[in-house]
Chain A
Amino acid sequence: MIQFENISKTFHSGEAMEIKAVVNINLQINSGDFIVVVGANGSGKSTLLNLIAGTYPPEQGNLFFDKKNVNQQQEHQRAKSIARLFQNPLSGTAPELSIIENFRLAALRTSAKKISIGINQEFRNRVSNRIQLLGMGLENKLDHPMEQLSGGQRQALTLLMSTMDECKILLMDEPTSALDPRSTEIIMNLAKNIIQEKKLMALLVTHRLKDCIQFGNRVLVMDSGKIKMEFSAAEKENLKLETLQKLFLA
């Protein structure tokens, strides 16, 4: 369970460029929740995700993971339970490292990176089996550097990498905005399956309103750093695309 208690975050505080990214947010995310977050550019969606990930601490308020205050925990410490998918499909993988090396790193997300060779045949088989699920033929290219792959392929691999190790929370920040419709479908279906299969808590930031209908059990609409409206699971069932569109144009 994640709890936001009166959380605010301001960038360039006290300067002319001051941006109140998130203002006084109170929010409870229960385990098993898959929340879709929508809102205009600059409404604070990404900041919300970054606060959970620990990219920066909140300026005011407290953030709790399972009732434990994590304000002071840094990103690499929180990484033990959090996997992330970024907007830029290239940013979730290391370009010059091979596919198998990227997966090795992902498999060690929660454990120490020791000075011993961890990529053995067994590990290669494990990765290969998993990559096969994508149906992209990448299982035969384990030793190719990531930079040789397309954005869609890299985003799909990033998503798979997030499941290589224990993970409780999946944060997705417009994961498909740079992808073509086919890749988008593959990625979103894969994400949905992984979330269900691993029973993850998930947050999806998106600009595609139909994602709100298609995915998740809760919808948050953000505006100027605040939660403008929330649709619970029950409300979401009757949610129509038109309602959301009207809300945005208002």
Chain B
Amino acid sequence: MNSEFLLTALMQGMAFAGLGFGIYISLRIFNIPDITTDGSYALGGVVTAICITSGIHPLAAMFLAGIAGAIAGMCSGLIHTKLKVNALLAGILVMTALYSINLILLGRPNLPLIDTPSFFNLIPFGSALSKSIISLVLFLIICLVTLRYLLKSDFGIAMRATGNNENMVRAFGVNVNTMKVIGLALANGFTALSGSLIAQYQGFADINMGIGIVISGLGAVMMGEAVFGKIIRKNIYIHLLAVLCGGILFRMAIAGALSAGADPNYLRLITSLIVLLIIAVGQLRKKSAL
């Protein structure tokens, strides 16, 4: 594996961090397997591409992408809590609907972002590579600090308790349904931010870019937990960092498989197999620990 490959994986891993955080919120905090992710990720890319090509500042475009993702998540949350539809099914419903919505918004299957301003060249100095890395690192620091503050706040405690013991938080005056809707909105907002970054990074938005992406987010969360082990329980920062590192390692694992000569057509198969491998290793570890 050459260094360029590693670097690409590192950059992708960082750009995918929002996706990891999204899955962390929906799956780990709320215990909801949220498939809306596939749709809201593409929505993030689509909204960003439309905004940037119509002259809107990349940061504003990202903000709007995040809001769009949050609205998508809110829809899933409302379907799940108000219509009592299974969370998985609610996610599939919204994801399916988003496919058409993305196509309608974009007006065509993909939109290139060539010679347009982008998040990755906002910094006025340095080489293209250093600009990208500094922007990404800054973005991640802001994400980490914001998320940590949110999760440590009184609101965040109620949010984390909701996924942990629903009956108890209800007895403590928390509206569980509202909490879930907000949680899914937040999760999909982060996911859409990730879609926005990837669209700008690869230079195009594509309505198919979200297919199967939920597995990448899952891979990031699980990889992080597998590598960091039990210490993630101690501190939210560590858990979030684990998700971030997990995402980067996950990208590297895929890049490694591809550079070892795997056919790119097998990309999704490889992705799924890596996730499966992480789960299997986790189970074996648990057994040997008993």
Q: Which of B102-110, B114-122, B159-167, B277-285 contacts A (4 or more CB under 8 A)?
A: B159-167
Q: Are B170 and A75 in contact, with the CB atoms below 8 A? A: yes
Q: Number of contact residues on A: which range applies?
A: 20 to 34
| Interfacial chain A residues near B171, Cβ < 8 Å | 53, 75-76, 79, 82-84, 92, 109
A117 located at the interface, meaning its Cβ lies under 8 Å from any Cβ of chain B in the complex: yes
The answer on a CB contact under 8 Å between B168 and A92 is yes
Q: Does B173 contact A (CB under 8 A)?
A: yes
- B170 contact set on A, CB distance < 8 A: 75-76, 79
Given A94-B160, A97-B160, A145-B233, A114 contacting B153 (CB threshold 8 A): yes
Please name all residues of chain B whose beta carbon is closer than 8 Å to the beta carbon of A116 when the two chains form the complex.
Answer: 153-154
Q: Give the chain B neighbours of A91 by CB distance below 8 A.
A: 165, 167-168
Q: Which of B156, B164, B176 has the most CB of A within 10 A?
A: B164
Interface on chain B toward A: helix, strand, loop, or mixed SS? helix
Is A105's CB under 8 angstroms from B167's CB?
no
Q: B169 interface residue, CB < 8 Å from A?
A: yes
Q: Judging by beta carbons under 8 Å apart, are B153 and A105 in contact?
A: no
B161 in contact with A97 (CB, 8 Å): yes
Q: Is A61 an interface residue (CB 8 A)?
A: no
Q: Is B157 among interface residues, defined by CB-CB distance under 8 A?
A: yes
Q: Is B150's beta carbon under 8 Å from chain A?
A: yes
Report yes or no: B157 in contact with A101, Cβ–Cβ below 8 A. yes
With a cutoff of 8 Å between Cβ atoms, the chain A residues found around residue B154 in the complex are: 104-105, 108, 113-118
- Establish whether residues A117 and B152, one from each chain, have CB atoms under 8 Å apart when the complex forms: yes
A109 close to B173 (CB less than 8 A): yes
Contact residues of A: prevailing secondary structure: loop
A25 at the interface (CB under 8 A from B): no
Does A93 sit at the interface, judged by CB under 8 A? yes
Are B153 and A96 closer than 8 Å at their CB atoms? Answer: no
A145 to B161, CA, bound (A): 12
**Which residues of A (59-103) have their CB < 8 Å from a CB of B?**
75-77, 79-80, 82-84, 86, 91-97, 101-102
Interface residue? B266 (CB, 8 A) = no
- The contact string, 1 if C-beta is below 8 Å from chain B, for chain A 104-144, is 11101110011111110000000000000000000000000
CB distance from B281 to the nearest CB of A (A): 22
0/1 string, B130-169, CB within 8 A of A gives 1: 0000000000000000000110111111101100110111
A105 and B164 in contact (CB under 8 A), knowing A53-B171, A114-B153?
Answer: no
Interface residue total, chain B, C-beta cutoff 8 A: 24
Which residues of B are found within 8 Å of A96, using beta-carbon distances?
160, 164, 233
Contact partner of A105 (CB less than 8 A), chosen from B152, B161, B175, B176, is B161
Query: Which chain B residues (153-202) contact chain A, with CB distance < 8 Å?
Result: 153-158, 160-161, 164-165, 167-176
Q: By the criterion CB–CB under 8 Å, are B165 and A93 in contact?
A: yes
Give the residue of A80, A94, A119 whose beta carbon is less than 8 angstroms from that of B173: A80
> B165, A95: Cβ atoms under 8 Å?
yes
Q: Cα distance A58–B168 when bound, in Å?
A: 21
State whether B155 touches A94 (Cβ < 8 A).
no
Residues of B within 8 A of A118 (CB): 153-154, 157
In the complex, chain A residues whose CB is within 8 Å of the CB of B155: 113-115
Across the interface, which residues of A come within 8 angstroms of B175, CB to CB? 76
With A and B bound together, what is the CA distance between A119 and B154 in angstroms? 8
Residues from chain B with Cβ under 8 Å of A110 in the complex: 173
B153 touches A93 (CB 8 A): no
Q: Which residues of A are found within 8 Å of B172, using beta-carbon distances?
A: 79, 105-106, 108-109
Determine the residue in chain A with the shortest Cβ distance to B177: A76
- Whether the pair B160, A76 counts as a contact (CB closer than 8 A) is no
Return A199 CB to nearest CB of chain B, in Å. Answer: 21
Q: Is A97 in contact with B164, judged by CB distance below 8 angstroms?
A: yes
Shortest Cβ distance from residue B183 to the other chain A in the assembled complex, whole angstroms: 13
**A-B contact list, 21 entries, CB within 8 Å:** A75-B170, A76-B170, A76-B171, A76-B175, A76-B176, A80-B173, A92-B171, A93-B168, A95-B164, A96-B160, A97-B157, A97-B160, A101-B157, A101-B160, A102-B161, A105-B158, A108-B154, A109-B171, A113-B154, A117-B153, A118-B154
5 tightest A-B CB contacts, nearest first: A79-B173, A94-B164, A94-B161, A113-B158, A118-B154
Which B residues have a C-beta under 8 Å from some C-beta of A? Answer: 149-150, 152-158, 160-161, 164-165, 167-176, 233
Interface residues of A (CB under 8 A from B): 53, 75-77, 79-80, 82-84, 86, 91-97, 101-102, 104-106, 108-110, 113-119, 145
